[in-house]
Structure formats: C-alpha cells, structure tokens
Amino acid sequence: MQTIKDSSFGGERPLFGIKDTRLENVTVTEGESGVKCCRDIEVYGCRFIGKYPLWHVDNSLIENCHFEVGSRSAIWYSNNMTMKDCIIDGPKFFREMDTLNIQDVRINDADETFWKVRNLTLRHVSLHEGTYPFMFCENVEVDGLESDSKYVFQYVRNAVIRNAKIVTKDAFWETENVTIYDSHLDGEYLGWHSRNLRLVRCHITGEQPLCYVDGLTLEDCTFGPDCDRMFEDSVLEARIKGHVTNIKNPRSGHITADSIGSVTLDEHLLAPGDCIIQTRS
C-alpha cells in the first residue's frame, strides 16, 4: 500500500482513481470530488473542505478526520466503509451505500444524512440539527445514539436500536420490523403508520404517540404525562409500567398499565374495536 502524507490537493478530482493507498494528514481544499472512483484506501487525520470528496469509494477505512461545512454531500455511492473518531460539519452525508460502519462520530449538521443505506451499523454516534436522517435505510443496528434532528428513521426497515436518546418530531413513521431497547424517545406523533414496531424498556414523551400501528409491542415501557390520545387505530400488545394519561380508540389487542387517567372510545373507533384495556390490581 502506497502512502500520501502531509499534502494538500485542490481543484476537481485531484485523487481520482487511487487504490491501495493510505492518505495521512492530507487536506482536500476547495473544489469537487477530491477522492472519486477509488478502492482499498485508508484515510487518517485528513481534512476535507470542498464538495463531494468521497464518491464511488469501495473498501475504505476513515479515521480521525474532519469534514468541514463546505464538504456537503460528501460520501455517496460508496460500499464497505468504516468510519471512526470523525467530526462532520457538512449536510447530506452517506447516501445510496451498502455496508457502512460508524463509530464515535459526531455529525453537527445531520440534514438529509443516511439516505438509502443498507447494512448500517452505528456505535456511539451523535446527530445534531437537520431533518430526515435515516430515510429508507435497511438492516440497521444502533447502540448508543444521541439525536436532536427532526423526523428521524422514516421508512426504515429491519432495525435494532439500543441505548438511544432521541429528541425529535414525527419519528419512526412508516417503519417495518423495528425494535428499540432501553431508549428515551421524546417527540410528537411517534411511530405512526408503522408495522411490527417493538419497544422494550423505553421512556416515551410527546403528544399522540404510536397511532395507526399494525403489530405494536410494548414491554415494560413508561410514558410522560404529555402522552395523550395514545394508540388510536393501532393493533397492539402493551405491558406498560406506571401511569398513562389517555388512551384513544385502539383497534384491537391488549393493554395493561399500573394506572390509566382516561380512555376515549367514540364513534371513530374502527372494527373490530375489541382491545382489552386494564389496570393491574
């Protein structure tokens, strides 16, 4: 493997087509597509300033790098990538990729980041600002996530999420086969229109959570006092710890909680309308 170190490159496609190469302490300045159509590369301690620096890059390891604000849409169409200990300040990272492993990374502008990524693994990652991260991702594993981005995990399939703290709005819409363990989920309209959504030992806050869900499972979850009109038109099996404020028109299933403030069953209740709702004696 050749090494390129202590260098600066600018303009368009200055490192096009490199392979079996280690970039060390390299700065890619203003311009476009600094490292494009490359394979089998290692990138260590580098700084990326211009747009689209890593497109069509396969089999890569990226460590201790800084992607500045201007490095928007930096990593697309790249497969088999591992990134560790990096800071990302640009938006719209990671699209149309297969097999991406992210560890100890801080993303300061998560706008439209992680779109259509398959086989995505995150460990100890933080996301800030922006909207719609994780759109249309498949086969996702997360352990240790902090996010204040809006509209996270829309249209995601086959995901397991552990130890997350998510402050958001309209999260986990239209998902399929998602399980969330030991996490704090704070945001309005959580999980609407999803299928096979399972939450285990999670704490949930925000208005109207978990409505229009087919195949909802809750195991030992807790809810904040602002969670009202819960479970409308959902089919669920729910074992809830503590108090819930209001349940509205669940379609079918079984709900057990320590205490329930009120239950609304009105003319909008859809068939079969046979959900069993009870408190623990």
The answer on 14 and 80 residing in a single domain is no
- Return the pLDDT at 31: 85
Question: How many structural domains comprise the chain?
Answer: 2
| Distance from C-alpha of 160 to C-alpha of 124, rounded to nearest angstrom | 14
The answer on 123 and 48 residing in a single domain is no
Residue 22: which domain range? Answer: 1-70
Nearest by Cα to 4 from 19, 13, 58: 19
Q: Are residues 106 and 58 in the same domain?
A: no
114 and 199 together in one domain: yes
Can you give the pTM of this predicted structure?
0.95
Same-domain pairing of 217 and 270: yes
Low-confidence ranges of the chain (pLDDT < 70): 281
Residues 228 and 157 placed together within one structural domain of the fold = yes
Q: How far apart are CA 269 and CA 251, in angstroms?
A: 7
Both 158 and 53 in a single domain? no
Of 155, 152, 249, 168, nearest to 206 by C-alpha is 168
Residues 76, 62 share a domain: no
Domain end: 70, 87, 119, which one? 70
Half-sphere exposure of 162 (CA within 13 A, CB side): 7
- Between CA 221 and CA 181 the distance in angstroms is 10
Length of the chain: 281
Last residue of a domain, one of 30, 51, 70: 70
Tell me, yes or no, whether 117 and 253 share the same domain: yes
Do 50 and 177 have their domain in common?
no
Whole-number Cα distances in Å, 147 to 183, 184, 236: 12, 11, 27
Q: Are residues 138 and 212 in the same domain?
A: yes
Residues 21 and 136 in one domain: no
Last residue of a domain, one of 70, 86, 105: 70
Q: Which pair of tokens denotes residue 179?
A: 């399980």
Predicted pLDDT of residue 281:
66
Cα-flanking dihedrals φ and ψ of residue 42, to 5°? -120, 135
Spatial distance between the Cα atoms of 131 and 170, rounded to a whole number of angstroms: 11
Percent of the chain with pLDDT over 90: 97
Cα separation values, 55 from 35, 52, 74, 113, 133, Å = 7, 6, 7, 15, 19
